[in-house]
Amino acid sequence: MKNIKKITCIGAGYVGGPTMAVIAQKNPDITVTVVDLNEARIDAWNDEDASKLPIYEPGLDAIVTEARGRNLFFSTDVERAIVEADMIFISVNTPTKTYGKGKGQAADLKFIELCARQIAAVATSDKIVVEKSTLPVRTAEALKSILDHTGNGVNFHILSNPEFLAEGTAVADLQNPDRVLIGGEDAEAIEALAQVYEAWVPRERIITTNLWSSELSKLVANAFLAQRVSSINAISELCEATGANVDEVARAIGLDSRIGPKFLKASVGFGGSCFQKDILNLVYIARSYNLKAVADYWEQVIILNDHQKTRFAEQIIKTLYNTVNGKKIAFLGWAFKKDTNDTRESAAIYVADYLLEEEANIVVYDPKVSSDQIYRDLDYLGTRSPADNRRLVTVVNEPYEAVDEAHALAVLTEWDEFKAYDWQRIKEVMKKPSFVFDGRKLLNRSFLESLGFVYYAIGE
Ligand code: UDX
Ligand code: ADP
């Protein structure tokens, strides 16, 4: 197998963009082209002003600035990029189906299939096709079938190379991965991809498996991580009932080296594009093989997560004397975690929706999320009319404006800057009693109580 000289990535999103930027940075001899149908997104990736990149990730702007124009290119010319590439990464979105069989559970593979058909239609030389998107097990088989039956007689080797980066720490995760996983059948194709990573990842951290194991490992990794969050969140409710403190419990159990300290932070609930989708996928796959107990077991992780979001909203209502009608509630944070502008499945959306059903007035401040995105997220739920969402929700660019005259403040995202605010000033401008609901356990209870806030935090 010849060395890879040209890589194309289809899909310039949260996975494709950062991953290709780091591959290009570490392999100056390989030309990396990232293509997307979305012209506005590509224009943003090409913007001279690196603060205008379509996704926010700490450290990403510097890497893009270093490699772009040298060996990293962003384009909407999908066909040309396919024709020229030795290796094609598929990194398009695979949302949960919103229609038909498997609605609400199975992954929608229409974008993947479109990519496969497009590759088959235009490729005139052999290609290695790499699945980067998270996919249900056995998607590679479908990809191979489409490529082999509709192609122009060229050879396609399919590899699965799931991405384990977490948003907000994508650059660090890519530069220093715990492992790189490559699943496939063709030893030469596997070796070609391994060499791309070997530019910066030690060989012993590049592991290879068969295709199905690789695909399933990605779902299972996310399911285990989400399960830890739901486990500690379940305990957070028990702590509230019994007077234990969930942080103390997490610390005590996390020091057991078999349990470990990470991913034990109780919160208002996990969000993000992966956890819920991947567990739903796992559940769907288990059901399709009639493994009812397995499906029910994993589904419980989602049920608990939904319960945690609802419970937080209900706590706010109960504390505000059982009515939030017409009351102003300030939301600090809308993103699903800090250091990202991504809001997919963010707990904030569901907490807001619950409070809006009670006719609360919500004022949102998030350092990186635009007001357009916030209204899109609410409108997408379809709970009420877009006009009502705009009547009840205001988005501001300044935190002190959000809290002015607010009955309560809720922390939905753990942005560092929230800790550094002038809490004395916030206390002065809020209505009394001034309630703080900390869904991230971010703030300091004794400090806030000393200022006169009434402070509620998950799991205390
Ligand atoms: C996750 C996986 O970590 C990553 O390996 C995979 O490639 C994609 O899915 P991501 O969704 O970007 O990454 O973020 P992650 O840090 O895993 O957080 C997911 C959600 O769980 C966030 O809403 C976060 O706030 C929440 N969380 C995480 C907790 O509530 N408590 C924790 O202890 C950890
Ligand atoms: P992820 O978090 O998995 O990266 P995103 O939604 O951020 O998901 O990015 C996926 C990108 O893939 C989107 O920008 C979308 O426009 C793009 N995309 C989807 N289908 C195609 C296709 N057939 N050709 C090119 N780009 C596509």
**CA 270 from centroid of its chain's CA atoms:** 10
Predicted local confidence at residue 275, as pLDDT? 96
CA nearest ligand 1 atom 25, residue: 337
> pLDDT digits over 345-389, tens only?
999 999 999 999 999 999 999 999 999 999 999 999 999 999 999
CA dist., res. 164 & res. 221, Å (int)? 9
Predicted local confidence at residue 201, as pLDDT? 98
In terms of DSSP bridges, do strands 408-411 and 328-332 run parallel, antiparallel, or are they unpaired? parallel
What is the amino acid identity at position 18? P
Tokens of 354: 């619950």
- The ligand minimizing its distance to the Cα of 36 is 2
CA nearest ligand 1 atom 1, residue: 166
Predicted local confidence at residue 340, as pLDDT? 93
What residues does ligand 2 touch, defined as CB less than 6 Å away? 10-16, 35-38, 41, 78, 91-93, 111, 114-115, 133, 273
Q: How far is the CA of 225 from the centre of ligand 1 (A)?
A: 7
Predicted local confidence at residue 83, as pLDDT? 96
Q: Which DSSP letter does residue 154 get?
A: -
Three-point CA angle 284, 285, 290, nearest 5°: 95
Low-confidence ranges of the chain (pLDDT < 70): 1-2
CA dist., res. 130 & res. 159, Å (int)? 5
Catalytic residue among 26, 127, 132, 218: 218
What is the amino acid identity at position 320? L
Block residue for tokens 């082209």: 33
CA-derived radius of gyration, the chain? 23
Q: For a ligand 1 pocket test, name from 133, 161, 274 the mutation site with the most ligand atoms within 8 angstroms of its C-beta.
A: 274
Catalytic residue among 274, 309, 441, 460: 274
Phi, psi of 63 (to 5 degrees): -70, -40
Predicted local confidence at residue 392, as pLDDT? 98
> Of 458, 12, 19, nearest to 270 (Cα)?
458
Please count the residues of the chain: 460
Phi, psi of 336 (to 5 degrees): -75, -15
> Of 90, 76, 17, nearest to 50 (Cα)?
17
CA nearest ligand 1 atom 26, residue: 270
What is the amino acid identity at position 339? D
Q: How far is the CA of 133 from the centre of ligand 2 (A)?
A: 9
Q: How far is CA 286 from CA 96, 131, 137, 229, in A?
A: 16, 22, 11, 22
> pLDDT digits over 133-174, tens only?
877 777 888 888 888 888 788 999 999 999 999 999 999 999
Predicted local confidence at residue 109, as pLDDT? 85
Catalytic residue among 57, 131, 163, 240: 163
Q: Annotated catalytic, 218? A: yes
Predicted local confidence at residue 444, as pLDDT? 97
CA nearest ligand 2 atom 11, residue: 11
pTM to 2 decimals?
0.94
Predicted local confidence at residue 107, as pLDDT? 80
Three-point CA angle 59, 23, 68, nearest 5°: 65
Q: How far is the CA of 344 from the centre of ligand 2 (A)?
A: 14
Q: Annotated catalytic, 163? A: yes
**CA 266 from centroid of its chain's CA atoms:** 18
